[in-house]
Amino acid sequence: MTTGKRRGVTASAIAVVWFFTAFVLACWPTQAADRTIYLTFDDGPLDGTSNILDVLQAENVPATMFMVGLHAKSSPESKALVARAKSMPLVTVGNHSYSHAYNRYRRFYADTEAVVADMVRANAVLGLEAPTHARLPGRNVFRLPNISTNDLSIDQHERNVEQPDYEFVAATGFWLYGWDHEWVHDGTGKPVQSVTRLVSEIDHMFSGKVRFVRPNRLILLMHDEMFRDTFNGTANLTALIQGLRQRGYSFGHIPDYDPLN
């Protein structure tokens, strides 16, 4: 009797463990799919762009390269980087303006027609057609079919001045994307956060204490110059992607971020 009872308890325990394991495995893909990160890179093609493309290809993850027309036409090597990015199925090439406002943002956004013309000129250089995935220089703005937000980091007066620019650019055929979090650099391109710190920040954001533009969809802003060999760019980006994967995050295609239906 005692032996039979022990066997019965053991069988029940195994059944419970098996059920729990099956339940977790069944739920995990849904949980992972609900924690999606969109890797985005600004300002290319620059030193570091080639390293980014190498890592994206090796890790087989989607990403968006928001490129600057002036940089794209600067040399044959830059043109080749644009062509390479456009040839990669998992890479979306987006518009990040022609001039990047020459880094004089208030002056740039003071002339709505000039802003629109600058974006259209970048499309011509990059070989992009409307509707174009785009990011405005220096502004965290969304203008998508189902999402519209302004940059809250600038004062109210400036937001009021610049809002017509956003509206006219969007009406011209640009889908504008901002970002939820940034891997910051110090101005020279050197990353401020370590990979470990950045992953920890992302974990914290997904803990429910931070509101995303879209729930459980985090757009991560980075810049091409951060991934130069000088800053161990290839190793850092590889470590970031692998670290996020280990925590169950999935990587999304920017065209799927705000679908029309």
Cα 128 to Cα 123: distance, rounded to the nearest angstrom? 5
User: Of 49-58, 85-94, 204-213, which gets the smallest average pLDDT?
Assistant: 204-213
Percent above pLDDT 70 for the chain = 87
Q: Do residues 85 and 50 touch, judged by C-beta distance below 8 A?
A: no
Amino acid 208: pLDDT: 86
pTM value is: 0.87
Q: Which homologous superfamily does the CATH classification assign to the domain defined by 36-256?
A: Glycoside hydrolase/deacetylase (3.20.20.370)
Q: Do residues 231 and 154 touch, judged by C-beta distance below 8 A?
A: no
Cα 168 to Cα 171: distance, rounded to the nearest angstrom? 5
User: Of 27-31, 53-57, 100-104, which gets the smallest average pLDDT?
Assistant: 27-31
pLDDT digit string, tens, across residues 38-89: 999 999 999 999 999 999 999 999 999 999 999 999 999 999 999 999 999 9
Residue 147 has pLDDT above 50, yes or no: yes
DSSP-assigned letter for residue 128:
-
Summary mean pLDDT of the chain: 89
Residue 143 has pLDDT above 90, yes or no: yes
The b/e string for 85-108 (b: 16+ C-beta within 10 A; e otherwise) is beeeeebbbbbbbbbbbeeebeeb
Residue 29 has pLDDT above 80, yes or no: no
Residue carrying structure tokens 């161990």 = 232
